[in-house]
A and B are shown apart, each in its own frame.
Chain A
Amino acid sequence: MSSSPAVAGAEQVEEPKRSWWRAHSELGVCVFLLALGVLVLTNALTIPSDFTQRGPLGPKAVPVLVGSLLLLVALLLAREVLRGGKAEAEGGEDIDLSTPADWRTVLVLSGAFLANAALIDFVGFPISSAVMFWGAAYALGSRNTVRDPLIAAVLSVGTWLAFNELLGVPLPGGPLMGVF
């Protein structure tokens, strides 16, 4: 690909552009805040306030205030980012900020979590959360094919019993727990 000089030139222009966006990815936060502000404001304006209003301030006032402040903070933050201000990512004992973000782990972990949401109504809490636990442990690097599923099963059945039987908080047992 790079044999053609024109393409190589284009790539060279592309490269600093992409890294500029990467260095200023915090602008995404500003876009999010801006969008949220617009959403809150437009929603507030659709609230009919001519009737049922009690007192001088209707249901619109606070959303309008919050929405406007969101827009203001979004703009101020954008100014700070463009002037070279940088967010300090949160540290922690299990967190190593010197390594680049591991998106694969995040995606597999998210998949495990969403699998639970997709399965819980069909197979019940014990099975769906065991699947999630095993999937999450796998995502985070655990590869013990005996211990991982065993802990997952014990923990999810134990939690189900504790909530269903001891605390009286109903969780769906699913077909597996139907035998009890």
Chain B
Amino acid sequence: MDLSNLLDGFATALTPSHLLFAAIGVLLGTAIGVLPGIGPAMAVALLLPVTYGLDPTGAFIMFAGIYFGGMFGGSTTSILLNTPGESAAVVVAIEGNKMAKAGKGAQALAAAAIGHFIGGLIGITLLILLAPVIASYAVNIGAPDYFAFMVLAFVATSTVLGSSRLRGFASLLIGLTIGLVGLDQLTGQARLTFGSLHLADGIDVVIVAVGLFAVGESLWVAAHLRQTMEKPIPVGRPWLGRDDVRRAWKPWLRGPFIGFPFGAIPAGGADMTTFLSYVTEKKLSKRKDQWGKGAIEGVAGPEATSTATAAGTMVTMLTLGLPTTAVAAVMLAAFQQYGIQPGPLLFERESGLVWALIASLPIGLLFLLVINLPMAPVWAKLLRIPRPYLYAGILLFASVGAYAVGGEVLDLIILFAIGVLGFAMRRYGLPVLPAIIGVILGPAAELQMRRALQISDGNLTGLINSPIAVTIYVIIAALLAWPLLRKVLPGGRRSDKQEKIDA
């Protein structure tokens, strides 16, 4: 049965217009991955206005292409310039750039691109196998379970990422406050609207996402623009020797099994999984003398991991409607724009859309391998774009997005205010992701909580009357108590390292 769904999906994804969207997505994604300062989350946020004009299938095929393309492109800059184009590509810079400096840049790029391809393929296979199963189980979970999942997403994104949990929570609360603006969903009473009719509709998620990611980043860059730019290491067409393949194939195959499961839970996304893969490969390597001088395993493993992480993220987003990374959060906002609620029912109600999206992923991967493997040095030329044009262009698209929401100048002013907020958050170390998750999931979480309490007639035990919910609250309690536990338990050093990588 699932096979026929998948075949239908391929039939939809292989139509010329959808192939075109996949191609646009992967090209944009790779470009964005290579370019510093602009990541896949910001890119999808900037492209949200296309949801007003495109059909959902085409839009999501494009967004998925951007997500996976960003992973491919990010490693190119890491290897050739030692400055990661994406936060997920921080780890690959450690060994990859050493390889490039030692004249093995071509091999590093090849190991990365093939690693992405293999990791993506394994991740997507797991997605195809597991997502329908998870969705069919999740159909039966109720309001209390949903609420528990959302609280987990709140707590996990606030505590796991970044170096300060307190600042993570501050960011989350700011997001929840923005999410409160508008009419209460159940009673229709105005909250935080201050009598403004415009605010009664709430602040559009597009404006919040674009403001925090794009305008905030541009203002922050304006305050601290780097004046000297490093030159990328020149490199030829990527290729691998037989010895390289012998060393890289095991990390390629191991990486996805680290990335996929951790991508599916709110554990920090690819920033965390690539680091885990790096540590694993370093431990398993027989040629430890090579580490720190350009070990190909340190490129192959993390890169295969990062794309598989993206696939894992998609599972949770599609089956439970829960975003575990910033990109997934913005894609969730896109679903909301179309009035589609991701979650277990998605596979029943929007079967055509979901399977076309899933089928487009391997097609996109194939495109990505073709455009990245022979053309990596060409992409590196993108780094020469003058920064003033780059950020002026980002601002231009940001204002298009906000204005297109309703054609109102007030939205541009709100966009700017949220941009200033994003600037202040960057200055004072408040992570952006918890705020975005708070805006997107806050209203849904409130709805589920009030539903659960309606069913139990106001009894608070109505929130914890299922085994799933209880399990999740135990996990949340463990997350909250972690700093205390770490002091008691021996060997708390690893997390210090983790914080450095995150920064």
* B192, A102: Cβ atoms closer than 8 Å: no
* B221, A129: Cβ atoms closer than 8 Å: no
Distance in angstroms between the alpha carbons of A139 and B84 in the assembled complex: 26
Distance in angstroms between the alpha carbons of A32 and B428 in the assembled complex: 12
Q: Which secondary structure characterizes the binding site on chain B?
A: helix
* A132, B430: Cβ atoms closer than 8 Å: no
* A102, B224: Cβ atoms closer than 8 Å: yes
Query: Which of A43, A136, A156 has most chain B Cβ within 10 Å?
Result: A136
Is A66 at the interface (CB under 8 A from chain B)?
A: yes
Distance in angstroms between the alpha carbons of A112 and B210 in the assembled complex: 17
Q: Which residues of chain A are near B191, meaning CB under 8 Å?
A: 43-44, 47, 59, 63
Is A90 at the interface (CB under 8 A from chain B)?
A: yes
Distance in angstroms between the alpha carbons of A112 and B451 in the assembled complex: 46
Residue of B nearest to A40 (CB): B177
How would residues 42 to 57 of chain A score, 1 for a CB under 8 Å from any chain B CB and 0 otherwise?
0110011100111111
Q: Which of A104-146 contact B (CB under 8 A)?
A: 105-106, 109-110, 112-114, 116-118, 120-121, 125, 129, 132-134, 136-142
Known: A129-B399, A163-B400. A136 touches B391 (CB 8 A): yes
Distance in angstroms between the alpha carbons of A116 and B387 in the assembled complex: 20
Name the distance in Å between B171's Cβ and chain A's nearest Cβ. Answer: 10
Residue of B nearest to A142 (CB): B388
Number of residues from A at the complex interface, CB < 8 A: 84
Known: A29-B430, A129-B400, A155-B396. A52 touches B222 (CB 8 A): no
- Which residues does B use to contact A, with CB under 8 Å? 36-37, 49-50, 52-54, 77, 83-85, 163-164, 166-167, 169-170, 173-174, 176-177, 180, 184, 186-192, 215, 217-227, 386-389, 391-393, 395-397, 399-400, 403-404, 407, 409, 412-413, 416, 419-420, 423-424, 426-430, 446, 449-451, 453-454, 457-458, 503
- Which residues does A use to contact B, with CB under 8 Å? 26, 29, 32-33, 36, 39-40, 43-44, 47-49, 52-59, 61-63, 66, 69-70, 73-74, 76-77, 80, 85, 87-97, 99, 101-103, 105-106, 109-110, 112-114, 116-118, 120-121, 125, 129, 132-134, 136-142, 151-152, 155-156, 159, 163, 166-172
A-B residue pairs in contact (CB < 8 Å), sample of 28: A26-B428, A29-B170, A44-B191, A47-B189, A47-B191, A76-B166, A88-B163, A88-B503, A89-B429, A93-B84, A96-B224, A96-B225, A101-B427, A102-B225, A113-B416, A113-B419, A132-B396, A136-B395, A137-B388, A139-B222, A139-B388, A140-B222, A156-B396, A159-B396, A168-B52, A169-B52, A169-B53, A171-B407
